[in-house]
Amino acid sequence: MRGRGGRRALGGARAGGGQGRGVTSARPEHEYDPLTDPLPQGGHESPWFRSDNPAPEASAPVQEPASGPVYPPGPMGAPEPVAAPQEWYEPVPPPYQQDWYPAHEPMPEPMSGPVTTADPSTTAPIPAPAPIPAPISEPISVAEPTAAGDSTADPASTRALPAVVVPPATGGRAERRKAAKGKGRAAPAPAAAPATAPDGRRLTRAEARRAAKARKDSPAVIASRVLGEAFITLGVVMLLFVTYQLWWTNVRAHQEAGSATKKITQDWADGRKPGTFAPGQGFAIMHIPKLDIVAPVAQGTSKAKVLDKGMIGHYDEGGLKTAMPSDPTGNFAVAAHRNTHGEPFRYINRLKAGDKVVVETQEAYYTYEITSELPQTPPSNVSVLKPIPVGSGFTKPGRYLTLTTCTPEFTSTYRLIVWGKMVDDRPRSKGKPDALVG
């Protein structure tokens, strides 16, 4: 692209009819100078570069570039010289918003005109920064906004802001750094305020001691508290004991009785010959169909070895020795718990005349029929265990059954007695009796 000076020089040479070379600018012909060349108009088409423009006259003098900025001629002309370097643009006013100012105060006019630089000699020196004020401990009164131009504020219109108390920094730099990180030590507990009387005066040392002594619990209060805790502990222990007696002992007794029954049937299957049974050894199984009772019968009435294990004990100790089911005559007397430890005889009071009780041994099934009952008798009445039980209604020797247990329930004050007599003696080879089959 050629400059304006170059084109003028070429045009002048053509118009002069071959006279000497015209004076040209010092810059290359292809360089465009925005200060000396006219501004392009209409995009890429400039009036100086159109083919229909007439060539400039040769007689027009060619001006050399001045030392300062030279503005091309044009419709806008050169701007007026100004002292500041803002000659190419005007300052743009800031975007004001109407809601920043009260409704009665007009908005300021945007700035216009040249910006002048203040004389440094007339500029006041910048004041030194004010010292940081101490922490504020009193309320701050702030006046409410007033109308423009009103320099006085009504004291009644001021409102007090809450005081901002800045606690003084304590400790060294390390402590402050730890506190900022949240890893510092906890602040010490504040000291207790001195004791004061109701009238506001401070108590003396003697008065403070008397007040502290009065605040302590009296011996009666401490004793009642200890007694209450003892009662609560005793109640918890009793509750646990009752739970053990009424529930857990039955669970354990049923397990032990079931194991004893399996052992007896296994001995029978192995063909062991019956003989003298040791105390606590099981030898028979009693069935009470009406009560759905199936329990092993062991030798003796030991509480620990027999009764507490959920088994039925056979009276065969000392002066209370009774007959066996296989004996031709006699009284087969047994005992069992009515409550707790498996409680196999809990509901024998429900047995009525004609109900059946079957005693199963290794050789046979012995079926007894209930005949009578004694609701209550003292434990010392051992006559109910004789070969012909007293009070049973039997008058001559026979093969009898006597069931004994404690009464009333959950006590051992008296004994409940139920009697029966044998009505069937069936060998095992003939199968189960009708009482068990039905």
2 in catalytic set: no
4 in catalytic set: no
Peptide linkage before 375 cis (omega within 30 of 0): no
List, as own/partner pairs, every contact residues 354-358 make where C-beta atoms lie below 8 angstroms and the sequence separation is at least 24, other chains included.
355/288, 355/290, 356/289, 356/290, 356/435, 357/286, 357/287, 357/288, 357/401, 357/403, 357/420, 358/286, 358/287, 358/289, 358/433, 358/435, 358/436
Q: Can you read off the two tokens belonging to residue 29?
A: 């012909």
Name the H helices within 271-328: none
404 touches 334 (CB < 8 A) = yes
> What is the C-alpha separation between 384 and 374, in angstroms, rounded?
9
426 in catalytic set: no
Q: Looking at this protein, which amino acid is placed at residue 129?
A: P
402 touches 333 (CB < 8 A) = yes
> What is the C-alpha separation between 89 and 85, in angstroms, rounded?
9
Element (H, E) at 433: none
Q: Pairing between strand 312-314 and 330-335?
A: antiparallel
Q: Can you read off the two tokens belonging to residue 196?
A: 């004061």
Cβ neighbours around 300 below 10 Å, total: 18
Q: Of the residues 8, 287, 314, 337, which is catalytic? A: 337
Q: Pairing between strand 159-161 and 140-142?
A: antiparallel
Q: Can you read off the two tokens belonging to residue 281?
A: 């050894």
Q: Can you read off the two tokens belonging to residue 25?
A: 């600018």
Q: Of the residues 8, 314, 338, 406, which is catalytic? A: 406
Show which residues are catalytic: 337, 406, 415
